[in-house]
Amino acid sequence: MPELGDNRLSWDVCADLPSPLEEERITNCEGVGAVVRTQGLLVSRVLPRGRYDGFRLLVRATDTDELVGGAEWYVSPETGAYLPYPGTSWSACDYGQHVHQEHADAA
């Protein structure tokens, strides 16, 4: 598993997926976490194995492009599957921001 702060990874828009990935209606704090979990699982299943070291899922408000959540995933050296990096899933609610727009994009 890559170490947090390990700058060997480069992050860019994934050519294998549309950007934004999906538009979801989010109206509360729990919604951001749900989008991060479900879209992360979806991406982990559709990305080609062996092509990437991992991926970062970002959730942005559609109206303001404000970052409201995210998570990082890495490739398991044992199985080659994408797994969520422990402790990297977050929501703006974690930092006391409890106002959400009507919906957000999973980028």
**Binning pLDDT at 50, 70 and 90, where does residue 96 land?**
confident
CB 102 within 8 A of CB 27: yes
Cis ω before 86 (30° cut-off from 0): no
Domain map of the chain by residue range? 22-106
- Count each helix (H run) and each strand (E run) in the chain, helices first: 1, 6
**pLDDT at residue 41, rounded to an integer:** 92
> In this structure, what token pair is assigned to residue 53?
């070291």
pLDDT tens column, 24-77: 777 777 888 888 888 899 999 988 887 888 888 888 887 788 888 889 999 998
Query: pTM of this prediction?
Result: 0.71
pLDDT tens column, 81-94: 999 998 888 888 87
CB 84 within 8 A of CB 76: no
CB 75 within 8 A of CB 96: no
